[in-house]
Amino acid sequence: MELIFATHNPNKLKEVQQMMPKSIKLLSLEDVQLFDEIPETAATIKENAILKTDYIKARFDMPVFADDTGLIVPALDGNPGVRSARYAGEHKDSEDNMDLLLKNLTGDKDRSAYFLTVISLFMDGQQFIFEGRCNGMILHQRQGEKGFGYDPIFQPDGYQKSFAQMDMNQKSIISHRGKALKKLISHLNGIKIV
């Protein structure tokens, strides 16, 4: 079965491909020759995931899923949240985003945080939603070279290292995206693949 994953992000694609069963062929937006920048203008993470899925399903007659992820920091009123990828501006630079977040958390602020991923799947004329959450804290400085986004400054609860210090297998077991993907894969496995 072929399934479009609505992403241009090669890191995210690699992370997701690693978890997918071999019976599912994942197609990126590049694979289907769609180079549009899909608008992410919704007010919530869930609505953004649905927005992306709707954008693709209007252009292709194939099953499609999209995800949206936000880093929620209660001490910063839930920011960066739905604007996580563009926290420091529209240019979407992870280094700038991390710099701004660390600056905004200077002092004695509560450093607890969590990642939330919402996956929207459109298949056989139906919409399905899967969520995953990972609780943790924001570190005082970057640690590790792996991963992407906020991974170098996020330490999941119960671990003494950042996401950027974990290999992909370990991260995918405990991460927000990993948890949401497991729910998606479980749903797909329940569907007869012809």
- Nearest alpha carbon to residue 138 among 190, 187, 102, 99: 102
| pLDDT tens, residue by residue, 54-80 | 999 999 999 999 999 999 999 999 999
Q: Regarding predicted confidence, which is higher, 190 or 176?
A: 176
Question: CA angle, corner 20, sides to 26 and 51, nearest 5?
Answer: 55
Contact 144, 164 (CB under 8 A): yes
**Domains present along the chain, CATH in parentheses:** 2-189 (3.90.950.10)
- pLDDT-derived band at 191 (thresholds 50, 70, 90) equals low
Q: Is the pTM of this model over 0.75?
A: yes
Q: What is the mean pLDDT of the chain?
A: 91
> Which listed residue (61, 68, 99, 151) is catalytic?
68
110: annotated active-site residue: no
Does a cis peptide bond (omega within 30 degrees of 0) precede residue 80? yes
Per-residue pLDDT at 193: 40
pLDDT at 91: 78
**pLDDT tens-digit readout, 3-37:** 999 988 777 788 788 888 888 889 999 999 998 88
Give the residue-averaged pLDDT of 92-110: 91
- Whether residue 192 has pLDDT greater than 50: no
Tell me the C-alpha to C-alpha distance, in Å, between residue 103 and each of 1, 72, 74, 75, 96.
Answer: 46, 16, 15, 13, 10
Q: Which of 14-18, 121-125, 170-174 has the lowest mean pLDDT?
A: 14-18
